Structure 1
Amino acid sequence: MKHLIDSVLHEILSVKNLVHAISGSTASVVAISTFYPLDSARTRLQAGDLKSKNNFSLQLIREIFEKEGIYGIYRGLSSIITALGFSNFVYFYAYNCIKVCQKNRTATMDLLTAYTAGAINVLLSTPLWVVNTRLKLQSNSNRYTGIIDCASKIITAEGIKALWSGTTVSLLLASNPAIQWMFYESLKRYVARIFHNDELSSFTIFILSAISKFLATFLTYPLQILQTRCRAKNSNPSAILKAIIKEKNFQGLFLGFEAKLTQTVLTAAFMLVVYEKIVANILTLMKSY
């Protein structure tokens, strides 16, 4: 029994898992920095903060720029880099720790592994995402000087539980990366079998990850609307759902979908290309020593 426990701990605490975690964290920061204006427009549409008659991403970005300048487009970038970097470090570390303990890789196992990693990530990183959402949506009458200032003001005004606003919805939304990874890993195995090569090109990785993220986003988007509103206003999910449907019918559950789809597919696809290449290069370098 002791030998088994030692073996599992050795796998969990391996350098390889740390490489995956650092690579995932780095790749996510590079990707979000590249496509941040799209993410900013999407968040403000979902939260109902941006009153626009169109959902076209570039037009939304132009509207924000005309009203608020370059600061409006990149508002909250530093906090999202912190949140995303930490979040993906936790996610990729947990995902690979669970994965190495599995003997058989199937679509169902990929789904369960990714969801478990996502749930762990949600519980640890939600406060950073709540702060990030508030920073993006801050008004001239309610300004924050940074992450710590925003978090302290939320705790003072609403209590520490407010930092975990929307956790229930976020746990449901852990299904998004779970579905994405299920499709992505399954497609990778399928393509590798066809071409008899486990080493996929950057273009192939980009296409496979884009398809996977598109399917995951389409299937879970209404939950993302609820998540953003919960983080922004610390309200009850059911009350928010009723308000959205009452105001805009069921179409309101897909508010900002075009902006989200453009941002999330490009960001996720680019991130996985960077992630896969960083991991491959580091592991190859490690083998040479």
Structure 2
Amino acid sequence: MAVQSSTSSSKSQLSKNVSHDHFFVWREFVWGAVAGAFGEGMMHPVDTIKTRIQSQAILNGVKNQKGILQMVRSVWKVDGLKGFYRGVLPGVTGSLATGATYFGVIESTKKWIEDSHPSLEGHWAHFIAGAVGDTLGSIVYVPCEVIKQRMQVQGTITSWTSTALKNGIEIKPGAEIYDYYKGMFHAGCSIWRSQGLRGLYAGYLSTLARDVPFAGLMVVFYEALKDATEYGKQRWISNPKWHVNNSFEGLVLGGLAGGLSAYLTTPLDVVKTRLQVQGSTLRYKGWLDAIYNIWAKEGLEGMFRGSIPRIAWYIPASALTFMAVEFLREHFNERVPNGNLRVPKRKSLQEAT
């Protein structure tokens, strides 16, 4: 009887631990959503400048494209502060979905890969987890991104009305450009009426082509940097009481991981932006056609156009996002009976190798 009681107690404890693990993973979805929206909201003005720089070839032609400072002055002069925040609502909405799936799926997928496919343990598990998480988030993120970028390009109604005139000749909405969007829902309905589901998911494959490697690389870089940091602590810091705040570590390492990943995937971002900003008259027939035309007409400079504001956006945005996730994990995740924080166990760099 004693043996049966012990076995029953063991099963009950195992069931409770599984329940706690599932609860922990679901919290990652919440923390990821909050952190993603926070990072997007804080850095949206920089994203607006990046989008305008990358898309000006469609609206104004390849020649005489503006640089970063010229674009900042132009937006401020015509639209004021409001122009920098056009499209912030769809941007935050898309980041809520992406952040939730990104961080939530990362933890669950990493654990599943490491348990069921030990040969993929380590950086491969991190890359696959990040790619899967971002792919799932793209279902909501892409329509929001299309709406956001078109609103960013339009600015206020004053600047969009002046854009509709080239050399004194009025361009009909829907030809090279589209009607002015009053807000997120008006934009969504307008795109749906004129282009249907295809319009809302314009550049979907190019978004995946950019975001899957970006998401995978960012997780790999972040985890590698954390492993290197942990190794450095173990090797060079002898004082056991010395502790680096998790939020600060997330801020620094997240920024580095995001900036490096952003630069490497800039050409893919240029293609995605051009495909999503173009109207119903298609300048580019598809992803490969966009790459060919951008390279032929603008060269390497065109492929990396907007790389500085993109990096300038992703370093602080990724830093703030990872900082927020680490902060929320540290302060709000459940604690086990001994009072310690319940977090996934990390291997040291020596154990991993």
**Corresponding position: 1:96 with 2:107:** yes
Structure 2 counterpart of 1:274: 324
Structure 1 counterpart of 2:204: 167
Task: Give the C-alpha shift of residue 190 in structure 1.
Answer: 2.2
More displaced 10-residue stretch of structure 1: 265-274 or 11-20: 11-20
Structure 1 counterpart of 2:142: 126
Structure 2 counterpart of 1:112: 128
Structure 1 residues 13, 204: closer, same or farther in 2, change over 3 A? Answer: closer
Structure 1 counterpart of 2:233: 195
- TM-score under structure 2 normalisation? 0.72
Structure 1 residues 53, 165: closer, same or farther in 2, change over 3 A? Answer: closer
- The question of whether the paired residues in 1 share the 8 Å contact of 2:84 and 2:152 is answered with no
More displaced 10-residue stretch of structure 1: 155-164 or 197-206: 197-206
Match of 1:178 among 200, 216, 220: 216
Structure 1 residues 121, 237: closer, same or farther in 2, change over 3 A? Answer: same
Alignment length (residue pairs): 281
Structure 2 counterpart of 1:215: 260
Structure 2 counterpart of 1:87: 98
- The question of whether the paired residues in 2 share the 8 Å contact of 1:87 and 1:125 is answered with yes
For 2:249, the aligned partner's letter is T
For 2:141, the aligned partner's letter is S
Stretches of structure 1 that go unaligned for 5 or more consecutive residues are none
Structure 1 counterpart of 2:67: 54
**Corresponding position: 1:146 with 2:183:** yes
Task: Give the SS at the match of 2:89.
Answer: helix
- TM-score under structure 1 normalisation? 0.86
Match of 1:69 among 55, 64, 80: 80
Structure 1 residues 177, 12: closer, same or farther in 2, change over 3 A? Answer: farther
**Corresponding position: 1:27 with 2:35:** yes
Task: Give the C-alpha shift of residue 54 in structure 1.
Answer: 2.2
Deviations 1:184-209 (A, max 9, x none): 01211221233148974333322222
| Higher normalized helix content (fraction of residues) | 1
Stretches of structure 2 that go unaligned for 5 or more consecutive residues are 1-10, 155-159, 165-178, 235-239, 341-353
Task: Give the C-alpha shift of residue 284 in structure 1.
Answer: 4.9
Task: Give the C-alpha shift of residue 13 in structure 1.
Answer: 8.5
For 1:261, the aligned partner's letter is I
**Corresponding position: 1:36 with 2:44:** yes
Task: Give the C-alpha shift of residue 285 in structure 1.
Answer: 6.2
**Separation in 2 of the partners of 1:286 and 1:11?**
13
**Separation in 1 of the partners of 2:233 and 2:336?**
27
Task: Give the C-alpha shift of residue 239 in structure 1.
Answer: 2.6
Q: Which has the higher contact order (CA 8 A, sep 6+)?
A: 1
**Separation in 1 of the partners of 2:20 and 2:274?**
36
More displaced 10-residue stretch of structure 1: 136-145 or 153-162: 136-145
Task: Give the SS at the match of 2:67.
Answer: coil
Identity %: 19
**Corresponding position: 1:155 with 2:192:** yes
**Separation in 2 of the partners of 1:123 and 1:53?**
33
Task: Give the C-alpha shift of residue 82 in structure 1.
Answer: 1.2
- The question of whether the paired residues in 1 share the 8 Å contact of 2:36 and 2:100 is answered with no
- The question of whether the paired residues in 2 share the 8 Å contact of 1:46 and 1:256 is answered with yes
Structure 1 residues 77, 199: closer, same or farther in 2, change over 3 A? Answer: farther
For 1:54, the aligned partner's letter is G
More displaced 10-residue stretch of structure 1: 43-52 or 272-281: 43-52
More displaced 10-residue stretch of structure 1: 39-48 or 95-104: 95-104
- The question of whether the paired residues in 1 share the 8 Å contact of 2:94 and 2:140 is answered with no
Deviations 1:215-235 (A, max 9, x none): 211211100001111111264
Task: Give the SS at the match of 1:159.
Answer: helix
Deviations 1:9-45 (A, max 9, x none): x679822122111111111222222222111111111
Structure 1 residues 181, 145: closer, same or farther in 2, change over 3 A? Answer: same
**Separation in 2 of the partners of 1:231 and 1:13?**
40
Q: CA RMSD in A?
A: 2.8
- The question of whether the paired residues in 2 share the 8 Å contact of 1:83 and 1:132 is answered with no
Task: Give the C-alpha shift of residue 169 in structure 1.
Answer: 1.2
Task: Give the SS at the match of 1:183.
Answer: helix
Task: Give the SS at the match of 1:250.
Answer: helix
- The question of whether the paired residues in 2 share the 8 Å contact of 1:12 and 1:97 is answered with no
